[in-house]
Amino acid sequence: MKAAVVVFPGANCDRDLAVALRAAGFDVAMHWWKDAGLPQGLDVVGLPGGFSFGDYLRCGAIAARAPAMDGVRAHAARGGLVLGICNGFQALIEAGLLPGALMRNAGLRFVCRTVGLETAGRSPFTHGVPPTLRLPVAHHDGCFVADDETLARLKGEGRVAFRYAPGENPNGSMDDIAGVLSENRRVLGLMPHPERAADPALGPADGAALFAALAGAGAGAPA
């Protein structure tokens, strides 16, 4: 199984994401943001967390317009799997691959802590992931908002992949939304960081289940 991680200037989770994907069994290529055209035969494209282009304009706005994103769009259009974590989630929204917006946290502060999550939607990213897990968050623009119609669609179509556990919403996201899926459920944007909690040798490893799900999906397991 093949994966690529797109590296933007200012990304700080690209290596962690590659390590987690490799541990789950993927061959991982690092793909520089300014190179158009992703490697052939990819199962998964990962957009890492961080501060791409210094978070100028809006978080993820410049990354969304990088040459590599044309390849990401083409991969998604073919039904390929795309995982955007934190800044990667922001870039997927800015690129129009996921709906809604990620606004400044409700408390107007950078939030860096571990939060409880509930697995909500069925998808290639959640198959076999336990119903509750704990993952770290680290962001200042993580407050998911959407208009009423979009929110109703996301909920009605089971496209909320993860919610913050009751009382643990760190950023004021509507309906406690922590992660959303595309219409075909093969693009996931997730604010918490599974790649920072994926190796039991380093501490809690609830995030590993998500990469195992992806590996299963890449190998043709049911979504």
Ligand X SMILES: NC(=O)CC[C@H](N)C(=O)O
* Binding residues vs ligand X (CB under 6 A): 49-51, 55, 59, 86-87, 138-142
Cα–Cα distance between 47 and 66 in angstroms, integer? 12
195 is known as an active-site residue: yes
143 is known as an active-site residue: no
Q: How many CB atoms lie within 10 A of CB 104?
A: 16
CA distances from 195 to 10, 60, 199, 202 (A): 17, 19, 8, 11
- Name residue, tokens 């802590």: 113
The distance of closest approach from Cβ of residue 212 to ligand X in the complex, given in angstroms and rounded to an integer, is 22
- Using the minimum distance from each CB to ligand X, give the nearer residue, 26 or 51: 51
- Using the minimum distance from each CB to ligand X, give the nearer residue, 30 or 221: 30
Name the catalytic one among 31, 75, 127, 193.
Answer: 193
59 is known as an active-site residue: no
The distance of closest approach from Cβ of residue 112 to ligand X in the complex, given in angstroms and rounded to an integer, is 9
Report CA Rg, the chain.
15
The distance of closest approach from Cβ of residue 137 to ligand X in the complex, given in angstroms and rounded to an integer, is 8
Name the token pair of 218. Answer: 């890449």
- Using the minimum distance from each CB to ligand X, give the nearer residue, 1 or 102: 102
Measured CA angle at 160 (ends 185, 92), to 5 deg: 60
Give the helix, strand, coil percentages of the chain, each rounded to 5: 30, 25, 45
Amino acid identity, residue 214? L
Name the catalytic one among 13, 59, 86, 143.
Answer: 86
The distance of closest approach from Cβ of residue 42 to ligand X in the complex, given in angstroms and rounded to an integer, is 22
- Using the minimum distance from each CB to ligand X, give the nearer residue, 46 or 49: 49
- Residue 151: its H or E element: helix 148-156
Which residues have a catalytic role annotated? 86, 193, 195
